[in-house]
Amino acid sequence: MKSIRRPTLVTACATVVLCLNALQIAMAAPANPRAEMVKSKPTVDSLTGLKHPVLYDDGKCPKGQIAQFSKKGGQGQMRRACVDKPN
């Protein structure tokens, strides 16, 4: 009879750590590939009519990231999020 090898605690922990790392990478907010880089700070009016967000370096995001601005629904508000800088 062939014995079935059961995972050890170390193997199980390593698997959990790898899965959590993969999840963290997948959840990182990448820049929208259609986002356009702009040179002046976006306003609600400048975002009106755009179907994609814009990227603007306002100096408030961590190193390696840039601010992404988009219009928030039909509420006349902007949404700002820090995303990874595009290559």
The predicted-structure confidence for 6-18, as pLDDT tens digits, reads as follows 767 666 555 655 5
- Verdict on whether the full-model pTM lies above 0.75: no
**What is the structure's pLDDT at 67?**
95
Q: Are 85 and 73 spatial neighbours (Cβ–Cβ below 8 Å)?
A: no
- Using the structure block, give the residue that is written with the tokens 């959590």: 20
The predicted-structure confidence for 22-61, as pLDDT tens digits, reads as follows 444 444 445 566 788 999 999 988 888 888 899 999 999 9
User: Which three-class secondary structure state does DSSP give residue 16?
Assistant: helix
Q: What is the dihedral of CA 18, 23, 28, 34, to 10 degrees?
A: 120
How far apart are alpha carbons 84 and 35 in whole angstroms?
A: 12
